[in-house]
Amino acid sequence: MARRKTEKGTPQHNRASADVMGLRAEVLEQPITETLETNYMPYAMSVIVSRAIPEIDGFKPSQRKLLYTMYKMNLLTGARTKSANIVGQTMRLNPHGDAAIYDTMVRLSRGYGAVLTPFVDSKGNFGKVYSRDMACAASRYTEAKLAPICAEVFRDIDKDTVDFADNYDGSMKEPVLLPTAFPNVLVSANTGIAVGMASQICGFNLAEVCETAIELMRDPEHNIMSTLPAPDFPTGGEIIMDTAAMEEIYRTGRGSFRVRARWRYDAKANVIEIYELPYTTTAEAVMDKVAELVKAGKVKEISDMRDETDLSGLKLAIDLKRGAEPEKLMAKLFRSTPLMDSFACNFNILIEGNPRVMGVGEILSEWTAWRTQCVKRRVFFDLERKREKLHLLRGLAKILLDIDKAIAIIRNTEREADVIPNLMAGFGIDKTQAEYVAEIKLRNINREYILKRTAEIEELERAIAELQATLESRRRLQGLIIRELQAIIKQYAEPRRTGIVYADELPEPEEDDGAEDYPVHVFVSREGYLKKITPQSLRMSAEQKYKDGDGPGVDFEATNRAEILVFTDRQQAYKARLADFEDSKASVLGVYLPSHLGMDEGEQVKAVVAPEDYSRQLIFFFENGKAARVPLSAYETKTNRRKLVNAYSDKSPLVCVMLLGEELEAAAFSTEGRALIFNTSLLAPKTSRSTQGVGVMTLKPRYKLSDVRPLHATGIKNLPRYRVRSLPAAGALLKDEDRGEKQLSILEG
C-alpha cells in the first residue's frame, strides 16, 4: 500500500480496511517506535516517577498521600479512628482503590512490623511481616493514628518548607515532599519495581543514621562504617558481615549481604527455638523447606517442627532426635533453607524527578542539601512574619504620640471608607499599618496597651537580625539541622535489632546433608561424562562404555561425600559433591557435566580433580609453553559458591592440569615432535590463580605445547636425551622408540 502525503509532505500512517462481523473497520498502521514513544513511554515514566521509586524524603507517592491525609485529619494529636475512614479520606488524593491504600497503611503500621520506625500507630490485627498466612483484618475492624515520630515528618510543613501541588482533580493541594527532619530514606526499608528499573533499600537504625548525618556535616571525610556499621531490620536476625562487600554497598548503592535467623537451644526439652527470621523470608517458607528436606531424607535429626508463634512473638520449635547435635543441624539448615538468605541492595532514589543509584554517603549528602533548603525556607518564612509584625508595631508606635488625635480622626470621619486614608495622612503610616490601627478594639485604645505592644519592637529587631544572619550562613543552617537530629536521637533512639557476625569468625561449614559415606571410583571421559561406581559394581563389570568418538579421560578413587573441582576451557571452575551424582554402572554413559553443572553454552571440561583437604597443588600447562603452579587452597571457598570465575590465566589456551601431591618428574611434548623431562620442583608456586606462570618449553612460532604427563605414564626409554636441569628449554626431537602410546591429557600425580 502506497503512503499518502500530507500538504506538508510528511507521510501519514497507513490505513487498511477490514470486515469485522459485517461492519467496515479501518485499521491504523503505526510504526512501533511511535507507539512506544506516544503510548508506552508516558506509562513507564508515570510508574517510575509517581509510583514505584521513593524520593529523598523516603516515601513513595502512595505513602506520602496516606500520611498527609492522616495529618490533615488531626490524627497526630487526636484519637484513633477506623482505618476504613482513613482509607476513604485518602482517596481524595490517591484514587487507586481502597485495597491498595489499606495495604500501604498496613506496611507502615507498628503492628505489621515492616519498618524500623512505624509511622502508623495501629490497633487491631494488622498481620505480621514474617508470616505469609497471618493476614490483616479488614479496614472496618482496625483503628489507627499517626505515630509520635510523625511530628518530625511534618515538622513546620505549614511554614512553606516544601512545595504543594494540585491533587489529581485540582480540588485540593498536597505536598510534593514531606519535610522529614531525619534521613528517613535510609531508615525505612523500601522496595519498588518500576519499568526497566527497580529500587531495593534496606533499613538502618534511626540513631545510627542521624549520628552519621551529623558527622558527615561536620567532616565530609568521615568514615561512615564507624557510625553506621550495618543495616538494621525490624525482624532482627544476624547479618553475616563481609566488610569489603558492605563497603562496596556503601560506596555504590549496589550489592548483597547475607542475613540469618537467631535461635536458642533448650537442652531440657531437646528443642531448638527460632525466634528471629531474615527480613526476606516467612515462617511458612522456612517450615515448608524443612519439611521437604525431612521428607527427602536429607535431614534426619528432626522428629517434629511446629509454629508456636503467639502474642509474645515469633517462635518456630524444632524437636530433635536423641543424639542430634544442635550446632551441626542449624549449620545444615542455614545452608539449605531460607533461615539464611541474601538481601540484594539497589539504592535507587528519585532526585528532582530523576532516578539515581547512590551510595550511603551520596544519599546523606543529597538529604542534607535538601533538608538545608527546607530549613532555609522555614527561617525565611519566620523572618517574613516577624518583619510584617514589626512593620505593624512601628505604625502602632506612631499612634502612641497622640492617641487623642487618632480617636478624633476616626470620630470625625463621616464615611467608613475614608478612615484608613485619614489615618495614613494624619500619622504618615501606610495602608497596612492604618488598617491594623483601625481594627484595634475600643477597650485597647489606651496608653498601657500600646506601650506593651510597642515594647516588642526591640525584641523583634534582635530576632530578625538573628534570623537574617542564619539565612545567610550555611554553617548556622546546618547547626539547626544538627540540633534537630540530636533531639530526635534523644527522643526516639532504639537499640539495634539485627546483630552483626563477621564472616571470618564463623566456623567452616561442614558439608553434611545426611549423605552416606562409602568408597567410590570416579571415571570422567574426554568429553566430560562422569560415572560414580561403587567397588562392588566395578568388580561385576569393569569394561567402561563410551559415546562414539569419546574415550577414557581420568579416573580416581574417592568417597561419596568428597568434593570435585571441574576446570573448563573458559577459565572457570565448578565445585560439586560426588553425593550429588547417582551411583551408576560401567555400562552407562554417565552424567554429562556441562549440563549437570549448568555451564555456559559451548563450555567444555578440561580437567577434573579431587581436592580432598585442599593441601596439594595444581599445575596448569598452557599452549604457549608456560606453566602455573597454584596451591589448591586458592580454590577453597568459605561460602557455598559453586562457580568460580578467573580460575586460571586467560593469556593462552589450557592444555592440561596436573594434581601434585609430591614432587615428581614429568614429560612435556610439543606439536613439533619434541619432548623434555623436568622435575616439578623447578616450578615455583604462585599465590595468584590468574598468574601467567613461568616458561617450561621454548617453542618455535608455528608450534605449541600439546601434552604434559608424569614420566611414569610415558613410553620414553632414552631418559638422558630429554632430561633438563633448568627451564625453559627447547627439548629434543622424539625418537620412534620413545613415542609410546597416546596417553591421557587430564592426569593426577
Q: Which of 129-133, 442-446, 577-581 has the highest mean pLDDT?
A: 129-133
Active site residue 265: no
Write b or e for each residue in 526-556: b if 16 or more Cβ atoms lie within 10 A of its Cβ, otherwise e: bbbbbbbbbeebbeeeeebebeeeeeebbbb
Q: What is the mean pLDDT of residues 522-547?
A: 88
The model's pTM is 0.68
Q: What is the mean pLDDT of residues 18-33?
A: 65
Q: Does 615 have pLDDT greater than 70?
A: yes
If we measure between CA atoms, which residue out of 699, 648, 706, 658 comes closest to residue 679?
658
The per-residue pLDDT for 399 is 82
pLDDT band, very low/low/confident/very high, at 96 (cuts 50, 70, 90): confident
Q: Does 285 have pLDDT greater than 60?
A: yes
The per-residue pLDDT for 355 is 92
The sheet carrying 254-260 orders its strands as 190-193, 198-201, 340-346, 254-260, 238-241, 499-502
If we measure between CA atoms, which residue out of 251, 259, 256 comes closest to residue 228?
251
Q: Does 49 have pLDDT greater than 90?
A: no
| C-alpha to C-alpha distances, 569 to 71, 546, 606, nearest whole angstrom | 64, 22, 6
Q: Count the residues in the chain.
A: 749
Q: Which of 48-62, 342-356, 640-654 has the highest mean pLDDT?
A: 342-356
CA–CA gap between residue 369 and residue 216 (Å, rounded): 12
Contact 567/647 with Cβ under 8 angstroms? yes
Active-site annotation holder among 43, 68, 130, 141: 141
Q: Chain centroid to CA 22: how far?
A: 57
Q: Find the angle CA(259)-CA(60)-CA(142) to the nearest 5 degrees.
A: 80
Q: What is the mean pLDDT of residues 433-445?
A: 84
The per-residue pLDDT for 746 is 42
pLDDT band, very low/low/confident/very high, at 744 (cuts 50, 70, 90): very low
Q: Domains of the chain, with CATH numbers?
A: 59-179 (3.90.199.10), 262-338 (3.30.1360.40), 372-492 (1.10.268.10), 519-748 (2.120.10.90)
Identify the residue with better confidence: 317 or 39: 317
User: How do strand 747-748 and strand 654-660 relate by DSSP bridges?
Assistant: parallel
Look at the block and give the residue holding cell 563477621.
502
If we measure between CA atoms, which residue out of 102, 94, 368, 60 comes closest to residue 198?
60
CA–CA gap between residue 340 and residue 285 (Å, rounded): 12
SS3 state at 113: coil
Identify the residue with better confidence: 623 or 687: 623
